């Protein structure tokens, strides 16, 4: 949780710098809006709602951000693959990727020092994972079901024709990726540095 607070602080500190800057200068406004198109107050409400959603959301009513290494190992066992600890300066933590390939689960685990006990920083599920979100969405759910279930959290910059749906924001929330209008991947965490 300490890392979420630090990341939130960094994002809040950077917002005045980002205000009015285009995300990509060569893309028209109707496709890539500027951050200044919504008020700072509205943007802060969206960030808070995304962080709240990310903190409350779980998969299978147990897999969520902040779970300890011990809880993960008890539920899932030893990962099929563990990458090395890499220092992420933006959050001041060491991050290690844990793969449960046969279960369709990838976790990013964080700790203050390499080799220390870790906790879940982000979650990605794909086939054959059968875990579902609190709203009952999982791999294979339709795009229409996802949009309906998370419509109150829809990122204002998400586009209906997009191959993904952001509930919350890229700075905290869920990202559903689609193939043929069916969920192919679910991400829970902070996608934008």
Helical (H) or strand (E) element with 86:
strand 86-88
Domain count across the chain: 1
Most confident of 13-17, 18-22, 23-27, 187-191: 187-191
Whether the predicted pLDDT of 93 surpasses 60: yes
Domain residues for the domain of 169 are 2-189
Contact assessment for residue 105 and residue 81, using Cβ atoms and an 8 Å cutoff: no
pLDDT of residue 192: 80
Average pLDDT over residues 15-24: 33
In tens, the pLDDT along 64-88 reads 999 999 999 999 999 999 999 999 9
Residue 39, φ and ψ in degrees, nearest 5: -70, 160
pTM: 0.80
Distance of CA 24 to the CA centre of its chain: 22
């Amino acid at each position: 949780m300490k890392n979420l607070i630090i990341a939130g602080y960094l994002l809040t500190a950077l917002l005045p710098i980002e205000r009015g800057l285009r995300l990509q200068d060569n893309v028209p406004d109707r496709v890539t809006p500027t951050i200044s198109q919504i008020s700072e107050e509205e943007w802060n409400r969206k960030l808070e709602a995304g962080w709240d959603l990310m903190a409350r959301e779980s998969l299978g009513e147990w897999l969520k951000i902040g779970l300890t290494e011990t809880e993960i190992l008890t539920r899932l066992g030893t990962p099929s693959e563990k990458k090395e600890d890499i220092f992420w300066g933006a959050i001041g933590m060491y991050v290690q990727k844990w793969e449960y390939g046969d279960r369709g689960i990838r976790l990013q685990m964080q700790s203050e020092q390499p080799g220390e006990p870790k906790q879940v920083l982000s979650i990605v599920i794909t086939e054959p994972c059968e875990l579902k979100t609190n709203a009952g969405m999982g791999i294979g759910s339709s795009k229409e079901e996802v949009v309906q279930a998370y419509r109150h959290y829809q990122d204002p910059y998400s586009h209906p024709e997009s191959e993904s749906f952001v509930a919350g924001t890229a700075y905290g929330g869920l990202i559903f990726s689609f193939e043929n209008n069916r969920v192919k991947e679910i991400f829970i965490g902070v996608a934008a540095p």
